[in-house]
Amino acid sequence: MNAFKDLEEELDEDEVIEAVVFGDWGWDGYEEPRKRTNPPVPKDKRGVILSIEEAKPMMEGWGFNTGYGAPTTYATYIWTDKSIYFIMQYDGATSVTSIPRNPESCMPEMPGRS
């Protein structure tokens, strides 16, 4: 599992990542990997604006697109030159999705649409 690779699949070919902010794991840290000793995203790096170079090593060993039930990923906001990416849940399935970064004419989607 690699959250950065999950993100790469969502990005446009020419899209540039500008900043990343990680939040807590799942629902308030529920079942965080390596919770007691060395979590992938240290607590002092959560809620902090990071460059993709800083964030990328922390994105190994977990992913954005997870199964059903409690989310097994970090709450995350990612700003690119085109979009804002964030974690979404639909019917218990967790994934990463995005909205345009700036106002633009587009057809908004309803979460959960398959």
The phi, psi pair for 6, rounded to 5°, reads -60, -45
**How many whole angstroms separate alpha carbon 62 and alpha carbon 60?**
6
- Phi-psi domain of 41 (left: phi exceeds 0; alpha: psi -120 through 50; beta: other): beta
Task: Read off the pLDDT of each residue in 3-31 and give the average, rounded to a whole number.
Answer: 92
pLDDT above 70 as % of the chain:
94
Q: Tell whether the model's pLDDT for residue 62 goes beyond 90.
A: yes
Please give the C-alpha separations between residue 107 and each of 29, 83, 111, in angstroms, as whole numbers: 35, 15, 13
Q: Tell whether the model's pLDDT for residue 24 goes beyond 60.
A: yes
**How many whole angstroms separate alpha carbon 38 and alpha carbon 19?**
23
The pTM (predicted TM-score) of the whole model is: 0.89
Residue among 71, 114, 78 at smallest CA distance from 94: 71
Does residue 81 contact residue 102 with C-beta atoms inside 8 Å? no
Compute the mean pLDDT over every residue in the chain, rounded to the nearest whole number.
90
Pairing of strands 83-90, 17-25: unpaired
**How many whole angstroms separate alpha carbon 108 and alpha carbon 8?**
22
